Structure 1
């Protein structure tokens, strides 16, 4: 029942790739390149040189790594073929015929976006929308089912929340991250002139 509904929603959304072709360029970008913008976002937040943003940047990377690890375990136990393996689809981007569930792109995008949202609510809403477009584009371009991206999004958000809670509430984890930031800043201050920047 769920699999049937999942495929019907996939087919409805993927059919747009054959009808609304003017959007295909946009969807290809979100499916293949948009996550680089999220990486750039992490780098930019890091180089604002505020402790809050640097802690947020580290947490987003940890959440992504944990999300990827969890996703790999799930894929081993609940293997699912890609849509283009089992069906005739509008496939707009090349992709290996590996595990489809859950979506790594959705996991990473929502792990990063949710971390940003937890720390910086106003901007975080934009990042969550950006992550949603990445997830939807993976169905549009024919490489994931809707439940793949839903599972990936949930995994990413839960991981981001969990990592933030651990880093915020567990004194040892907080101290270790702070020590990493302090060590980096000692090196940074020797290379770059220290600039006084306010907390954003």
Structure 2
């Protein structure tokens, strides 16, 4: 009698639980269909709210906000780079490739694990939370909604978005801590922001000179 190795049994059990939870959430698209427009919006366009937020924070011309945005973008670049590597070495198909799912949005049959949407949303939300706690909770709530919607709409397993969440939160926290500890890098970031602000001030002065307000 063949005895399945412990590692394979654990993997099979985990996959079964993951798929079972996916089915439960994905079936909500039928039992609670009135939420589908919200879930489709979050899944397809929720990330653009983060892009808009980043732009608004940056052009608020607050040094604190610009430091926050710089940290968020640095963290997001690293986190999504890690995702790309994981997607290559631990490739996993999307749920709709091997299962009958309720798929509410179109998506390429590319790497499912981990979720870039979850990673991107949580890494930026966490970076914002590090600087602005009240705003941060709202962004974390939005990140949770986006991540949940990716399961609801049939394009990710629960473990995909959980892994994305963990990567996003972890990288944002690590980068924030490193910039506090490594004064050299911290000063370099501040100098880069200062250099940009000097250029921005000159542009504003030139603009006012050529277009005076009457």
* TM-score normalized by the length of structure 2: 0.88
- Give the equivalent residue in structure 2 for 1:189: 201
Partner of 1:148: 160
Of structures 1 and 2, the one scoring higher in RCO (CA 8 A, sep 6+) is: 1
Match in the other structure for 1:51: 63
**Which structure 1 segments of 5+ residues have no match?**
194-200
Which moved further from structure 2: 14-23 or 106-115?
14-23
Q: Considering only aligned residues, what root-mean-square deviation do their CA atoms show, in Å? A: 1.0
Residue 189 of structure 2: aligned partner: 177
2:134 pairs with 1:122: yes
Give the structure 1 partner of residue 112 of structure 2.
100
For residue 19 of structure 1, report the CA deviation from its aligned partner: 2.4
Q: What does 1:70-81 correspond to in 2, within 5 Å?
A: 70-81=82-93
Partner of residue 148, structure 2: 136
| Partner Cα distance (1:125, 1:156) in 2 | 15
- Which has the higher Rg, Structure 1 or Structure 2? 2
Separation in structure 2 between the aligned mates of residue 167 and residue 95 of structure 1, nearest angstrom: 37
CA distance in 1, matches of 2:189, 2:98: 45
1:3 aligns with 2:15: yes
Equivalent pairs counted in the alignment come to 193
Deviation at 1:143, TM superposition (A): 0.3
Partner of residue 110, structure 1: 122
Q: 2: CA distance between counterparts of 1:110 and 1:131?
A: 6
Measure how far apart 1:21 and its partner are.
Answer: 1.7
**SS where residue 150 of structure 2 aligns?**
helix
> For 2:113 and 2:75, how far apart are their aligned partners in 1?
18
- Structure 1 residue runs of 4+, over 3 Å off? none
Which among 33, 36, 46 is matched to residue 34 of structure 1?
Answer: 46
User: Which range is displaced more, 134-143 or 178-187?
Assistant: 178-187
Deviations 1:41-76 (A, max 9, x none): 111111121211111001100111101100011111
2:24 is equivalent to residue 12 of structure 1: yes
User: TM-score, normalization: structure 1?
Assistant: 0.94
Taking the aligned partners of 2:37 and 2:63, their CA distance within structure 1 comes to 38
Provide the C-alpha distance between the structure 1 equivalents of 2:120 and 2:179, rounded to a whole number of angstroms.
19
1:23 is displaced (CA, Å) by 1.0
Residue 196 of structure 1 is matched in structure 2 by: none
